[in-house]
Amino acid sequence: MIQNNQNLIWHNHPITQKEREQLHGHRSIVLWFTGFSGSGKSTIAGSLEKHLYQMGINSYLLDGDNLRHGLCHDLNFSVHDRKENIRRIGEVAKLMIDAGLIVLTALISPYYEERKMVRNLIGSESFLEIFIDTPLSMCEKRDPKGLYKKARSGALTNFTGIDSEYQAPLKPDIHLDGEKSITVLTNEVLHFLKIRNIIQY
């Protein structure tokens, strides 16, 4: 952490976020997918990104696991490090918003305060919290990475939903029923983006 930043001065770009949005032909925004492991976050976000691409919309998907291979490889899953993980991703998403992109994130992001921190960092007008509401029992049955099995056996600790808390959003911007099909859920998000005048199709 930088202790003395008096010599750091923010550099304003000659091209604004609004000008980049006009170039791309759509607003820039963060679509923050949250839910249990196995809830369908990455699958739905990936499906949505594919549709946006086919529509000529500039977007990028920030996947939690991918980011832990690089940007956040030095962090573990303690409460402190989870908060730092979310902070870093929020800062990256903020830069991408300034670039005029639609940013999709697929992260468990289990705590109210961390999600609120990112909303405040980015601004409510550019942040949509999307809760993939999938029952824990279904997520555990799916167990696409075998993580629930490891957590139940004690081989994996601090696992959300087993021995670490998940604080579900109380008032998400979009509430998706994770038991529905990927096609239905993707279309629900696309419809929401259209009625909010974020995209046109």
Contact 161, 109 (CB under 8 A): no
Residue 169, pLDDT > 60, answer yes
pLDDT tens column, 23-78: 899 999 999 999 999 999 999 999 999 999 999 999 999 998 888 899 899 988 88
Q: Which pLDDT band holds residue 201 (cuts at 50, 70, 90)?
A: low
pTM for the structure as a whole: 0.91
Q: Which fold has domain 17-196?
A: Rossmann fold (3.40.50)
Round to the nearest angstrom and report the end-to-end CA distance of the chain: 44
Q: Which pLDDT band holds residue 7 (cuts at 50, 70, 90)?
A: confident
Contact 167, 71 (CB under 8 A): no
Strand extents, DSSP E, 59-201: 59-63, 102-106, 127-133, 174-177
Exposure string for 97-125, b = 16+ CB within 10 A, e = fewer? bbbbbbbbbbbbbbbeebbebbbeebeee
35 is in an annotated binding site: yes
The one catalytic residue among 28, 47, 59, 109: 109
- Whether 126 sits among the annotated catalytic residues: the reply is no
40 is in an annotated binding site: yes
CA 4 – CA 53 distance, rounded (Å): 42
137 is in an annotated binding site: no
- Domain extent listing, the chain: 17-196
pLDDT of res. 32: 98
Tell me which H or E stretch contains 96: helix 79-98
CA 111 – CA 101 distance, rounded (Å): 26
